């Protein structure tokens, strides 16, 4: 189903009859969707340019992560085999000059899924390693961890429910024709269920800085963006004895718009380890490469389509799919 939808979108991209809208190049709002990571409220890449006073923007994002990793050490063992889905409805509103507020409402689901064969074909086509997929059955759900101290995590039944709601406030530090920078802080409320890995059952607070530089080219325009954040992870209930109190994350990306209705983008995301563990899945910083682009459907509506790959193997899902439909009012 996903592949069929992707093919339709590619046909739209190659069509010469789309009108010219002037696509805005902005960061991908992606994050680590590993089962033990998605419950935390790290800073997510935000656009450096905020909305004018009285303007409202909305987005509907769908992120799909395919997890397939199995490893152990002398004192720990882990198995992440399944698919995770995060659907996010977000709003941003310019309440005053240089000031913006926002809210993200997520719905989180974990299931056996159906992308294993597609992901294996994807890896084979691009010559990418298949990781532990050859050692695991297709279309199963088991998110499990245990250590010698008795700490454990187990989810082997399909679940879905409200995730942790995120509230945000942002301040425009700089904005001119070529450059922009903003400072933002967010609070993640414990509205999701930790037993279903829909949340951490703890309050998280993050602060971040986002910047962007735009360039006019002979053929189209281009942008580079970067940002970093720091987060207090609160007192959650997901592997609480091993969870770190603080975490840092950063992103770096670039985009090129060769046509008014098309933007091509790539982005690197990483964060510090969220747990004290000798296993890559919990104790190593991830490095996620997201490749894709933006389609402009009108001067107010656009769609992001991207695929993410784990450059630091096992520290994040080996493949993620990201769709993000946004509209400005």
**Domain housing 221:** 30-291+308-328
Asked if residue 101 belongs to a domain, the reply is yes
CB 183 within 8 A of CB 171: yes
Residue 133 confidence (pLDDT): 67
Residue 145 confidence (pLDDT): 96
Sorted by sequence, the CB contacts under 8 Å of residue 294 that are 6+ apart come out as 23, 24, 25, 26, 255, 262, 263, 265, 302, 303, 304, 305
Region for residue 220 given its phi and psi (left: phi exceeds 0; alpha: psi -120 to 50; beta: otherwise): left
Asked if residue 5 belongs to a domain, the reply is no
Rounded to a whole number of angstroms, the distance between the first and last alpha carbons of the chain is 31
Per-residue pLDDT tens digits of the chain, which is 329 residues long:
444 444 444 443 434 444 445 799 999 999 999 999 999 999 999 999 999 999 999 999 999 999 989 999 989 999 999 999 999 999 999 999 999 999 999 999 999 877 666 666 666 666 666 666 667 777 789 999 999 989 999 999 999 999 999 999 999 999 999 999 999 999 999 999 999 999 999 999 999 999 999 999 988 999 999 999 999 999 999 999 999 999 999 999 999 999 999 999 999 999 999 999 999 999 999 999 999 999 999 989 999 999 999 999 899 998 999 999 999 99
Q: Return the C-alpha torsion angle 276, 279, 281, 286, nearest 10.
A: 80
Tokens 């409200």: give the residue: 162
25-57 exposure pattern, b = at least 16 Cβ within 10 A, e = fewer: bbbbbbbbbbbbbbbbbbbbbbbbbbbeeeeeb
Asked if residue 154 belongs to a domain, the reply is yes
**Token pair in block for residue 87:** 């659907």
Report the CATH number that the domain containing residue 229 is assigned in CATH: 2.40.128
Q: How far is CA 203 from CA 98, 105, 152, 198, 249, in A?
A: 27, 15, 21, 14, 18
Asked if residue 298 belongs to a domain, the reply is no
Asked if residue 20 belongs to a domain, the reply is no
Residue 128 confidence (pLDDT): 66
Helix (H) or strand (E) holding 310: strand 301-310
Domain tally for the chain? 1
Asked if residue 302 belongs to a domain, the reply is no
Which three-class secondary structure state does DSSP give residue 212?
A: strand
Q: What angle do CA 73, 37, 41 make, to 5 degrees?
A: 150
Asked if residue 214 belongs to a domain, the reply is yes
CB 48 within 8 A of CB 171: no
Q: Looking at the chain, how many residues does it have?
A: 329
CB 275 within 8 A of CB 283: yes
**Token pair in block for residue 21:** 């809208």
Residue 117 confidence (pLDDT): 66
**Token pair in block for residue 302:** 């656009």
């Amino acid at each position: 189903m996903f592949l069929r939808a992707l093919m339709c979108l590619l046909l739209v991209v190659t069509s010469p009859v789309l009108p010219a809208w002037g696509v805005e190049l902005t960061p991908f709002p992606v994050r680590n969707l590993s089962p033990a990571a998605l419950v935390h409220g790290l800073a997510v890449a935000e656009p450096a340019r905020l909305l004018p006073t009285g303007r409202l923007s909305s987005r509907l994002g769908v992120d799909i992560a395919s997890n397939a990793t199995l490893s152990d050490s002398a004192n720990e063992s882990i198995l992440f085999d399944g698919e995770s889905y995060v659907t996010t409805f977000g709003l941003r509103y310019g309440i005053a000059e240089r000031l913006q507020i926002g809210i993200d409402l997520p719905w989180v689901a974990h299931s056996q899924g159906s992308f294993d064969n597609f992901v294996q074909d994807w890896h084979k086509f691009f010559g990418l390693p298949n990781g532990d997929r050859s050692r695991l059955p297709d279309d199963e759900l088991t998110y499990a961890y245990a250590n010698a101290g008795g700490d454990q995590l187990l989810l082997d039944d399909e679940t879905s429910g409200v995730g942790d709601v995120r509230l945000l406030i942002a301040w425009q530090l700089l904005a001119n024709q070529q450059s922009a920078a903003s400072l933002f802080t967010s609070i993640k409320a414990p509205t999701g269920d930790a037993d279903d890995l829909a949340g951490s059952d703890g309050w998280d607070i993050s602060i971040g800085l986002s910047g962007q530089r735009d360039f006019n080219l002979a053929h189209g325009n281009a942008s580079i963006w970067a940002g970093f954040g720091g987060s207090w992870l609160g007192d959650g209930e997901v592997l609480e004895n091993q969870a770190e109190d603080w975490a840092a994350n950063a992103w770096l990306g670039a985009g090129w718009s060769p046509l008014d209705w098309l933007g091509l983008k790539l982005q690197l995301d990483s964060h510090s380890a969220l747990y004290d563990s000798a296993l890559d899945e919990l104790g190593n910083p991830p490095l996620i490469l997201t490749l894709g682009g933006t389609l402009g459907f009108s001067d107010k509506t656009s769609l992001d389509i991207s695929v993410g790959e784990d450059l630091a193997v096992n520290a994040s899902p080996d493949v993620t799919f990201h769709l993000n439909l946004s509209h400005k009012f």
